[in-house]
Amino acid sequence: MDLSDALMITGNALCTPEQAQADFSQAFAKLPPTVRTETLRLDQVMRQIHAARFKARAFNDLAEDGMSAETLKRLYYGKGKSSGLGWIAIGTAALIDHRQCGGCGLAGCHHQREVAIPADTLKAWRKLAVTNDKRGLSESWKVIIRDLISGKEIAGAGTWRDVFAKAAPFAQPPENCPWSLHRPPPGWSEASFMRHKADKLLYELGRKGSFAAWNELPEVRIDLTTLRPFEWLVVDDHRLDFKVFVTMPDGKVQLVELWGLFVMDVATRMIVSFALKPRVAREDGTVMAFEHRDMQHLITHVLTTYGVPKDFSQRWIVENAAAAVSTDCERLLDFVTSGRVTIKRSGIQVGDFHLSGFPERWGNYRGKRWLESYFGPLDVVLGGVKGQMGSDYWSKPGSFDARQAFGNRLLKLLEKCTPEKRAKLALPFEWAGDAHWLVSEAVELLNHRTDHQLEGFQEVRFFAYDTTSQALPLCPQLAKLHGTEQHLTTFSQVPQQLQELWLNNGGRPRRITPAEKMEMHRPEMLRLAPEAVQDLLFDEVTKYKGNPIIWRGGDALDLEIKRARIKTSVRFYGKLLNIEQGQKVIARLNTDKPELGVWLLNEKRQYLGHLRHSTDPTHDDVEGLHKMMGAQIAALNQGKKRLNHLTNAPQDALERIGELEQLTDTINTMTGKDDEDAEEIPALPESAGFIRAVKTRTPSTVAASGDAEAFLKSLQS
């Protein structure tokens, strides 16, 4: 092998001999002088060995200090780790000491080389990947390769000709791109790209938003061992995994979903209250769902049943969706409980931006994760209820569609059946009333479950006198709760050997149940006064069409109430004293039955009076039209009096009013039916006490109190 052959071998295989020799010469010239001199000396030794007839003798004869026969043999043949890289195979390049070459780039050089994929190309690939909601990484790589093959310019890499020139700088570029998805450029394989993929946090943040990326962030842990019962209450809604039949007030029957609103005490993980509501379809196509009033009444039920803690405040963790508390209800709770009850809102989270260009919006279920994790066991316990439909489409039982179709065909028949006949039918779904009892039993079962791994729950050992007797708790608090203190005293007085026998009879230790923890650590509670409960049962309205409610005069008040998704304007009439035109007021009423009227308070929550409900007059209701016009003119007269007082020039004010004076005199002659003769609608049981208190005395004989509760107490005194 001559020098020309050696130079050709060490060059690029795609190059011509002349180009290969030039490439090697250029790289060899960049070597440090000492390395270059030593390489040339060893090359002469290798040539002598190559020319010798007996190679083994030549290795021994040419061996010298620092260069043994074995070393010469390795350099010549390239054995061991250098197999295939000996002088006989690649020529002079095999003799270069690559520990000192500084990165020559010739065969055998172990120095790190330039990354084959440019940084800008990787950046473009990552951007495509994080904006693809499906298989973003793989598909984005395919997009890059397809664009490269088609001749498009790739960020940081150029066209395929630029990439080819970098991969084979001494080869003649072909007319067409030699690469494809199945044979990508060297170093551009999908696996090579995957080694540079973005971290999972960035990937999930770009694809799904903050909600999906939350699991990749540092975990926030809360120690609940110091939390006391009724200190934190969390509320959330849940769709039960079965449908039910429900009878409407008009006698029709519907097959609908059943939703629940559950209240959990965080310290004990016990469900303290719940409400169920069928998703009944309305005539306008909408469905009934939980509203602010349902949440308000559920809170009232909990506070009435259990009360509020005496020595610490109570926090309700709610969201901004179905299980939400209106701002008016929050203010009312703060007022009625003297600040003992506060509201903490956990969702909805609204992000600043999303990579798609749209703002993101997502529910923060982690704010109520204790209750969210409860719904899984609840669905398991209720898994035997008829009409299971699964948590989603993919988990739906195969027989559900046929069962639902059969249930829909039964609706007309069930409408004609009496309750007695319905009870005898084997129906494919439960009735909503029966489902309530089934859910109640499931909640009670989970409140007393012992097979759980809830954090912060004491583990208790049990003992039994024999294997057939009752297991008794080895815990003073639990023994007192179950009335077994005497057995615990007996256990403490027997010998240790007998104690161990009784403990073996008692079985494995278990954690206390949520209900047991509630009873063991229940704090001292304060019950709400009946007047406070009545306050909470009534809705509070402070705005009309987005603005504060203003008393406009004319003994009339317009309010806007919301029923489901529909907002309705209603009017109330009545004479009020000690109120000025333009004054802000707070309206208290039952929006389900506005015909009961409305009670007004001022901004300091001082009682002002009661107004009766009035329906809008029809086109042929002359008396109703007269009454409404009279209220308008009465309000105008009040405004004129205020203007006269303000300007201190009655005559000038009347002249500014102009021709309205004559119109006022004309319309004032038209009087409507006296309100005192109108038939009174009986109050609901929950509001009867409040209404009787209001009617006990008129506002003119009762001085305004500091707040509504004090006023009610003064009426009862």
Q: Are strands 270-278 and 253-265 parallel, antiparallel or unpaired?
A: antiparallel
Q: Across residues 447-461, what is the average pLDDT?
A: 86
pLDDT at residue number 685: 41
On whether the CB atoms of residues 326 and 245 are closer than 8 A, the answer is: no
Q: What is the DSSP string of 629-682?
A: HHHHHHHHHHHHHHHHHHHT-HHHHHHHHTTHHHHHHHHTT-----GGGSPPPP
Q: Does the pLDDT at position 10 exceed 50?
A: no
Confidence of residue 100 (pLDDT cuts 50, 70, 90): confident
- Amino acid identity at 514: P
CA angle 270, 261, 686 (to 5 degrees): 100
Distance CA 597, CA 684 (A): 12
Closest CA to 389 of 257, 567, 208, 563: 257
- 344 sits in which H/E element: strand 341-345
If you count them, how many residues does the chain have? 717
* φ, ψ at 92 (rounded to 5°): -60, -30
Distance CA 263, CA 240 (A): 15
Distance CA 332, CA 540 (A): 8
Distance CA 715, CA 670 (A): 37
How much of the chain exceeds pLDDT 70, in percent? 70
Residue 145 burial (CB < 10 Å; 0-12/13-18/19+)? buried
For residues 357 and 187, which has the higher predicted lDDT (pLDDT)?
187
Helix (H, G, I), strand (E, B) or coil at 314: strand
Output the six-digit token pair for 278: 């069928």
**278-335 pLDDT per residue, tens:** 999 888 778 888 888 888 888 988 988 898 898 999 999 887 655 578 888 888 888 8
Distance CA 236, CA 258 (A): 14
Q: Across residues 361-389, what is the average pLDDT?
A: 73
Bridge partners for 255 per DSSP: 245
Residue 98: Cβ within 10 Å count: 16
Output the six-digit token pair for 581: 């035109």
On whether the CB atoms of residues 69 and 63 are closer than 8 A, the answer is: yes
Q: Across residues 345-353, what is the average pLDDT?
A: 49
Q: Does the pLDDT at position 658 exceed 60?
A: no
Residue 42: Cβ within 10 Å count: 21
CA 294 to chain centre: 21
Confidence of residue 260 (pLDDT cuts 50, 70, 90): very high
For residues 508 and 605, which has the higher predicted lDDT (pLDDT)?
508
Residue 411: Cβ within 10 Å count: 13
Distance CA 218, CA 66 (A): 57
- Amino acid identity at 91: G
Q: Does the pLDDT at position 712 exceed 70?
A: no
Q: Across the chain, what does the average pLDDT equal?
A: 75
Distance CA 224, CA 234 (A): 14
Confidence of residue 565 (pLDDT cuts 50, 70, 90): low
Instruction: Output 657-666 pairs: Cβ under 8 A, ≥24 positions apart.
Output: 660/636, 664/633, 664/636, 664/637
Of 69-73, 364-368, 657-661, which range is least confident?
A: 657-661
pLDDT at residue number 624: 55
For residues 295 and 5, which has the higher predicted lDDT (pLDDT)?
295
Of 38-42, 182-186, 450-454, 675-679, which range is least confident?
A: 675-679
* 238, 266, 306 from 370: Cα distances, Å: 13, 7, 21
Q: Are strands 539-541 and 585-589 parallel, antiparallel or unpaired?
A: antiparallel
Distance CA 224, CA 302 (A): 22
- Evaluated on CA atoms 223, 226, 230, 232, the torsion sign reads negative
Q: Across residues 259-279, what is the average pLDDT?
A: 91
Going by the DSSP 8-state scheme, the letter that residue 172 receives in this structure is: P
Tokens 């038209």 correspond to what residue?
Answer: 670
pLDDT at residue number 664: 37
Spatial CB neighbours of 353, under 8 Å, sequence gap ≥ 6: 359, 360
pLDDT at residue number 194: 87
Instruction: Output 479-485 pairs: Cβ under 8 A, ≥24 positions apart.
Output: 481/516, 481/519, 481/520
pLDDT at residue number 96: 81
Q: Across residues 252-281, what is the average pLDDT?
A: 91
Confidence of residue 609 (pLDDT cuts 50, 70, 90): confident
Burial code of 632-651, b = ≥16 C-beta within 10 A, e = fewer?
ebbbbebbbeebbeeeeeee
Q: Does the pLDDT at position 90 exceed 70?
A: yes
**382-415 pLDDT per residue, tens:** 988 988 888 776 777 878 888 889 888 888 889 8
Q: Are strands 253-265 and 232-247 parallel, antiparallel or unpaired?
A: antiparallel
Q: Does the pLDDT at position 661 exceed 60?
A: no
pLDDT at residue number 117: 86
Q: Does the pLDDT at position 218 exceed 70?
A: no
Distance CA 426, CA 465 (A): 47
CA 46 to chain centre: 74
Torsion, Cα of 241, 247, 249, 251 (10° steps): 150
Instruction: Output 190-194 pairs: Cβ under 8 A, ≥24 positions apart.
Output: 190/138, 190/141, 192/116, 192/117, 193/117, 193/122, 193/125, 193/137, 193/141, 193/144, 194/137
pLDDT at residue number 212: 58
* 229, 247, 444, 600 from 431: Cα distances, Å: 35, 9, 20, 41
